[in-house]
Amino acid sequence: MKATLNVNVGAMVLFDDKICTITAVLDLDTYQLRANTTGATYQAQLADLSAFQAAGVHHVDSVSESKWELAQQHFDVIEPLIRQSRYTKADVQARAAECGVHVSTVYRWLKMYRETGVLTGLTRKQRSDKGVTQISAEVEQIIQQVLEVDYLNIQRKSAQKIITEISRRCHEQNLPIPHANTIRNRIQKIAPQIKMAKRLSRQAAEMKFSPLQGNFPNADYPLAVVQIDHTKLDIILVDDVYRKPIGRPWITLAIDVFSRMVTGFYVSFDPPSALSAGLCLSHSILPKESWLAKHEVKGRWAVWGLPRKIHLDNAKEFRGKVLEKACQQYGIEIEWRPVARPNFGGHIERLLGTILGEIHGITGTTFSNTRERQDYDSEEKAALTLSEFETWLTVFITDVYHQRVHSALGMSPLAKWKLGILGDDDSVGVGLPEKVVDETLLRLTFMPFEMRTVQQYGVAIHKITYWHDVLRTWIGATDPTNPKQARQFIFRIDPRDLSVIWFYDPDLLMYFPIPYRDSSHPVISIWELREIQRQLKREQKQNIDENMIFAAYSRMRELEQQAKGKTKAIRRAEQRRQLDQRTRAALPTPKDDFQAAMLPETQNYEFDDIQPFDDLDDLS
């Protein structure tokens, strides 16, 4: 089954258990349908439509690292074609000749990718010895060394000299000499910016490839480029219980550069991380109906879909391996903002500035500096909880910001978005973006993971034991490629809720939620766990185990209850705990019928040097 659902005219969808064809797009999220069997017509909303195929969806954890790299190579070949709304046979032939592969191979890869809509779809039924040039690791190393040292050099050696040098080195080491076209193709695939920066100068590359002030390259249709950034908000919020001040929250915000529409956001009291970027991106990609209903907002926010490219600040918190791999899976290109080049993030920074300006009119604002604040007591005036602020921000986005004329566009962001999607009498729109079918799978893809073996007691992560009968089959399992080595499995983890982890079963091709072995333990987050560990260290405890962890947690909660309402730190901890309980509800939890996320095709796991929880180190 494809990972996304097409909702444009002519697409087949499932509505009210009937297979229908979309006959007209009445608005951004309203459609006219015709039942395929009876011919009856219906009018439906986006939330009412679903896919009718029954097969599973590929996931990043269903393939080995070597097959992942191979899929990336195949994607590089077809990417220029899939980005075109239409391509001709001549286009495919030209691309095949340019990359040195057969035309039928390119067509096959295009079909495989369009059937699934994700990178791992390119591994399905794929022979490793067909359509791929076989080059040994030794020859590959020589090619890379010569390209990096001799070609990407100010001396600007010709391609022929590079071919000669690679051939000479291979001959000296009695290695097979790669074909000259193979080396030329490698040279052609080097990014022009890198080539010019290394062979001429960085200044020349910046002059040629840097965007002009106020303009962003290739952001010429909706979701072509989405910028994401974060800032600490100029407002003090209160807790839900005593409504006393607990501090200023952080916001991670996403904007569509073409239309200036806000595509999503995430607000919390935790500092920015790859996790907050992933949660913001998930909010950006998914439809907003459930979000609007939860916050009782009557406005419309008809924005969803996978962006072509996301533009991120070049900060460590956005450099997580999990975030990068999740974006690759869904075909999202990441572009990092160059250091000391503020014009590259002008659109998102202007939006953040607009929101901060609006916040200065809310009770509890801290303003942007002490001169503006003067005698205003921000803590005394603080009135909004985090959930109430989310509601205020959603109303501002849907009813104000999206509706009013944007000076740089000459129209409102909503009008620009509709123009880019639906078109008008003078221009053709790109069509509605496809909707992600499995929302749980999307959220899991952006979650960090741990590799663990399965023991008789279950699996232990952070000294906490988890168990479910689904693990029984894998107790003491050995690596298929090395019977002397224990087999490790993937466990996805939501840092906001450590009471459940998600186990990927490589035979059943599913993700299963695995609860605590001891169900009496309370729900805790990774941040609470780290605070417990710090407390036990201060107490000079040795050989820390699960019982000590939850005993310490109980003591800390008792102290919090005694001091509740007295300090901002304790109120902030309690508020974050309640926020985690609300946000983690997006993922299903274990029930009697035992929910699981369906996934296809199993492979071996080779994760090399990925450190899944590096993304969260700065939060400790």
**pLDDT (tens digit, 9 = 90+) per residue, 234-284?**
888 887 666 778 788 899 999 999 999 999 999 988 888 888 888 899 999
Task: Give residues with Cβ within 8 angstroms of 491, minimum separation 6.
Answer: 449, 450, 451, 452, 459, 461, 501, 502, 503, 504, 514
Is residue 150 exposed (0-12), middle (13-18) or buried (19+ Cβ within 10 Å)? middle
Q: What is the pLDDT of residue 516?
A: 94
pLDDT at 404: 93
pLDDT of residue 610: 42
Return the higher-pLDDT residue of 447 and 591: 447
pTM check: above 0.75: no
Average of pLDDT values for 303-314?
Answer: 89
- List % helix, strand, coil for the chain (3-state, nearest 5): 40, 20, 40
* pLDDT one-digit tens code per residue, 153-203: 888 889 999 999 999 999 999 999 999 988 988 888 776 767 877 888 766
Residue 561's contacts (CB-CB under 8 Å, 6 or more residues apart) are none
User: For the chain, what percent of residues have pLDDT higher than 70?
Assistant: 79
Least reliable range by pLDDT among 29-43, 101-115, 129-143, 485-499:
129-143
Burial letters 434-456, b for 16+ CB under 10 A, else e: bbbbbbebbbbbbbbbbebbbee
State residue 318's pLDDT score: 63
**CA-CA distance, 251 to 307, in Å (whole number)?**
20
Mean model confidence pLDDT for the chain: 80
Is 50 exceeded by the pLDDT of residue 600? Answer: no
Per-residue confidence (pLDDT) for residue 604, from 0 to 100: 44
Confidence of residue 603 (pLDDT cuts 50, 70, 90): very low
**Do the beta carbons of residue 180 and residue 204 sit within 8 Å?**
no
Asked whether the predicted pLDDT for residue 128 surpasses 60, the reply is no
Model confidence pLDDT, tens digit, residues 492-545: 998 888 999 999 988 877 889 999 999 999 888 887 888 888 888 888 888 888
Please state the rounded mean pLDDT for residues 210-219.
Answer: 52
Token digits of residue 421: 């999607």
pLDDT given at position 165 = 93
pLDDT at residue 452, rounded to an integer = 94
**Interval 456-476: pLDDT, tens:** 999 999 999 999 999 998 998
Mean pLDDT of the region 65-82: 85
**Is the predicted pLDDT of residue 58 greater than 70, yes or no?**
no
Which band of pLDDT confidence, cut at 50, 70 and 90, is reported for residue 31?
A: very high
Look up tokens 């090399």; give the residue: 608
Among 19-33, 256-270, 377-391, the range scoring the smallest mean pLDDT is 377-391
Question: Which pLDDT score, from 0 to 100, does residue 207 have?
Answer: 61
163 vs 36, which has greater pLDDT?
Answer: 163
| Most confident among 167-181, 211-225, 552-566 (mean pLDDT) | 167-181
What is the band of 42 on the pLDDT scale with cuts at 50, 70, 90?
very high
Element (H, E) at 436: strand 435-436
Which band of pLDDT confidence, cut at 50, 70 and 90, is reported for residue 130? very low
**Spatial CA neighbour of 133 closest among 77, 182, 201:** 182
Q: Is 296 exposed, middle or buried (0-12, 13-18, 19+ CB in 10 A)?
A: exposed
**Rounded Cα–Cα distance for residues 396 and 506 (Å):** 45
pLDDT at 342 over 60: no
Checking if the pLDDT of 54 tops 70, the result is: no
Higher pLDDT: 413 or 386? It is: 413
**Over 70: is that where the pLDDT of 572 sits?**
no
Tell me how far apart the alpha carbons of residues 493 and 469 are, in angstroms, rounded to a whole number.
Answer: 19
**pLDDT for the residue 377:** 58
Over 70: is that where the pLDDT of 227 sits?
Answer: yes
Q: How far apart are CA 20 and CA 14, in angstroms?
A: 6
> Does 21 score more than 80 pLDDT?
yes
The pLDDT, as a whole number, for residue 608 is 45
The yes-or-no verdict on residue 403 having pLDDT over 50 is: yes
d(CA 269, CA 272): 9
Q: Cβ distance 307 to 263 under 8 Å?
A: yes
pLDDT score, position 55: 44
| Arithmetic mean of pLDDT, 590-596 | 47
Q: Residue 284 is which amino acid?
A: S
pLDDT score of 592 more than 70: no
User: Does the pLDDT value for residue 571 go beyond 70?
Assistant: no
Indicate whether 601 pLDDT > 60: no
pLDDT at 477 over 60: yes
